Amino acid sequence: MARARPTHPNHVWSYDFVSARTHDGRSVRILNLIDESTRECLLIRAERRWSSAKVIEALASVMVLKGVPEHVRSDNGPEFVAKDLRNWLAGSGARTLYIEPGSPWENGYCESFNSKLRDEFLNGEIFYSIKELSVLAERWRVHYNTVRPHSSLGYKPPAPETWMTSTGKGHGEVETASRFPLLHTPGRRLSELRDK
């Protein structure tokens, strides 16, 4: 089988797991996927258990939207070194970059993101279900990408929201309205918004 060419040469994505718990004490593993070039968080997905098939599904869903990176960086966890995942990545055109065991600094962008996710989101919330965690994590990811300033980007977000004007040809009031507003406002915790 011929290897596909990456859609984004020189782009490196990195991914890693973060552990959390729901209120009932059951563990959750959260897969985070970061674009090292833009610092954009491409995916936060929570599951009770991960397999290489679920990792492939998660990566494929992002590649459909964002294209194929040249490299994907990870540690040597069992889900990341599984033969079917490595074969699938090779077929997609992305090459793997594995960090040395016990060297998390080699996956620095993802480790930095994991720390922010824990400090700014996971440590401040109680999740009563994995569904609640997933919904709130996606909301936090959108905020992280579109609003939150990043010092490495000159205090700008990696993927700021774009605005369509009502003066543009073919664009009316419906297209300019916010369809999925981010309910989080500065100074309010996400848990305060659950009852809305």
Could you say which residues of the chain have pLDDT below 70?
1-10, 102-107, 150-155, 157, 161-196
Q: Give the whole-angstrom CA distance, residue 2 versus residue 114.
A: 35
Name the residue with tokens 């569904």.
Answer: 131
pLDDT at 171: 45
Q: What's the confidence (pLDDT) of residue 174?
A: 46
- Amino acid identity at 103: S
Q: Which domains does the chain have, with CATH numbers?
A: 8-162 (3.30.420.10)
pLDDT, tens only, 113-141: 989 999 999 999 999 999 999 999 999 99
pLDDT of residue 149: 74
The per-residue pLDDT for 74 is: 87
